[in-house]
Chains A and B, each alone.
Chain A
Amino acid sequence: MLEKAFLGGRKYWSWMICLLIVMGAGLIAWLFQFRDGLGITGMSRDISWGVYIANFTFLVGVAAAAVMVVIPYYIHHYKAFGRITILAEFLGVSAVLMCLMFIIADLGNPVRAMNVLLHPTPNSILFWDMVVLNGYLFLNIFIGWNVLMAERKGSPPPGWLKPVIYLSIPWAVSIHTVTAFLYAGLPGRHFWLTAIMAARFLASAFAAGPALLIIFCLIIRKNTKFDPGEEQIRTLSGIVTYAMILNVFFFVLECFTAFYSQIPGHMHTIQYLFAGIHGHTGLVPWMWTAVFFWTVSLILLIVPAARRANDVLAVACVTVFIGCWIDKGVGLVIGGFIPNPLEHITEYQATLPEVLITLGVWATGFFVLSFLYKIAITVKEELGA
């Protein structure tokens, strides 16, 4: 089946070459980082994680979103989603790959990455995150490939695959829960020390992931002979709507606890994010942009007439995606470091090489995704589906 990825038209190849160029720029920037150290990024003693870990955290959510298609199809026998499970699973594959690349990009000593396996440490959440992410990557490649093979042969997926698919459901929840635990169990980081962190992560994941999937469905419908289906898009948009409402609701819960209790440590980061502290306002424009996007997306999603128009839905999905990216990436990860444990304020600004590396990783993810989607769509086109 792999050969199908090489049988594309001009549009496909131009897209892939564009991605390769961005990947190359990212690789060159990464070689500089490898030589000179992480000092070429905007990270610091106080803000010791930046845009790499932010993107990693966000993309774990995108990866987990596959489960929102798998559950209705395999548990509730919602047949319509059978057409798009493969799209969700391959999105999971490329998102997890990006996660792993962001982790490697963030390591001070990438050549020692295997120490995590050589000295396995079960009390470290990072160890478990490695286990669940790699497991999820394997599960999605394995399931996706077998389902597609079966589809090509015109037969149902083999019976022994069912238990593996069922396993992938709690596994998807686990990658996001474990990633939330990276943050939610740290004493002294008030903004992260919240019991609903994992729930928030899942809500934003199930909003941003399916939103991206809708965008892909619309693109695929326009550019290929395979139509993911109107009903499929409608159902996905319902999922995005519920998840986005929950996501915003959970955020409001955080604000209530912080501001009604009036405990300074709980309020500090939120104040910094939305109003700035002592004249430090670096993230304020970002956060209000996120609020704007959230508001627009909620209006467009909740009003039925708006949601049902596919052009409007596309806009809603883009605003969901960007809004969640800012909230989880910029706000949650970087905001959590401000103020620092000694209540000093250091701000963070990503540097050019850092941005290039980040774009390079995204380009690699999209390259892999395009490659996999090309195979899946060609198979579906041949079947005349």
Chain B
Amino acid sequence: MGVNRRKFLKIAGISTLAVAAKPATDALAFNPKEWLDEKLGGFTPSEMMLHFGHKPEGSVAGEALTATRWAMVVNVRSLDEEIAEACMEACHKIHNVPHIKNPKHEIKWLWREGYEHALPGQQHEHIDEEIKKLPFLVMCNHCYNPPCVRVCPTKATFKRKSDGIVMMDMHRCIGCRFCMAACPFGSRSFNWKDPRPHIKEEEQNPEYPTRTKGVVEKCQFCAERLAKGQIPACVEVAQKLCAEKGREPALVFGDLDDPDSEVREALRSHYSVRRKPELGTHPNVYYIV
């Protein structure tokens, strides 16, 4: 994100002024909150801190990848077991996702499902056998209208106003798991126990925080990589492997609001579906089958 130290301090200063000036401005029918929202790009101070904290050393503003509505297109026909596994491994490794064997306590951000589980209700008995074998990669859909955000009692999960990514503040989550009940895609995992002993020391990524027990976590569309100007890890891996195998990219990432983006191009040239569209959550992850 394009919030460097200088801009952050500037906005923090403006916020202080705005709060101090509130009684006077109220009299002039001037809404400081609206004005502040505009100045802050819709960030709350805690979101600001979050991005400030994630800012990599030595980066300059403008380097980050930005969009108004990030989206992903999964071209399932380009996927195979090997690519799917590589994507999952890349994601889980850089995000310090613990390896917990017990499926009841498992943490997963990106994983594969069979057709009938990824798109329940769409299946029929005469479907092409090949499709049944495809590894459907599933993750958080970063819904445009996210039920998890609606139900969270502390705003620990929130939709970032600037680009629509549904994010987690692991320091605020109280672990009530209301978001897990609300998510219609089963995309959220809870730390039923301390995850740290389940991360191999040699595999740990020191640049990404590990979590504590008692908080919910999920895919964040690699917000920390976007801030450094990198595309999400799974997309990078999938594009590399697909290029080697001479296939269309299995994962495409881009700005849904930009008609010239790669995702819009992929959606123009293929018929695509979303998971459970009837629920009105408007997922930002699309599937080409």
Contact = CB atoms under 8 A, between A and B. Distances in A.
A121 B153 contact: yes
- Which of A124, A127, A130, A265 is the most central at the interface, judged by chain B CB atoms within 10 Å of its CB? A124
Given A116-B153, A124-B153, A341 B184 contact: yes
Contacts of B191: 37, 108
Contacts of A43: 104, 192
Given A38-B192, A107-B174, A124-B152, A187 B105 contact: no
A265 B107 CA distance: 26
A224 interface: no
A37 B105 CA distance: 11
B192 A121 contact: no
A115 interface: yes
Interface stretch (B22-30, B112-120, B241-249): B112-120
A187 B186 contact: no
A186 B151 contact: yes
B156 A115 contact: yes
Q: DSSP majority for the B interface?
A: loop
Interface stretch (B4-12, B87-95, B175-183, B262-270): B175-183
B193 A124 contact: no
Given A265-B121, A342-B117, A343-B116, A108 B190 contact: yes
Q: DSSP majority for the A interface?
A: loop
B147 A115 contact: no
Contact of B118 (A121, A340, A342): A342
B84 interface: no
- Which of A43, A116, A188, A265 is the most central at the interface, judged by chain B CB atoms within 10 Å of its CB? A188
Nearest to A190: B184
A338 B214 CA distance: 23
Interface stretch (A9-17, A44-52, A76-84, A365-373): A44-52
A186 B118 contact: no
A344 B117 contact: yes
A112 interface: yes
B121 A112 contact: no
Interface string A329-345: 00000001100111110
Contacts of B173: 108-109, 112
A340 B186 contact: yes
Given A48-B181, A108-B173, A109-B214, A188 B279 contact: yes
A31 to B, nearest CB: 15
B177 A49 contact: yes
Nearest to A188: B184
B106 A187 contact: no
A346 interface: yes
A229 interface: no
8 contacts: A38-B175, A39-B193, A39-B213, A44-B104, A108-B175, A109-B173, A112-B173, A115-B174
Interface of B: 103-106, 113, 116-118, 120-121, 138, 147, 150-156, 172-178, 180-186, 189-194, 213-216, 276, 279-281
- Sorted from nearest, which 9 A-B pairs have the closest CB atoms? A108-B175, A188-B184, A108-B214, A44-B104, A39-B192, A39-B193, A37-B213, A187-B279, A126-B153
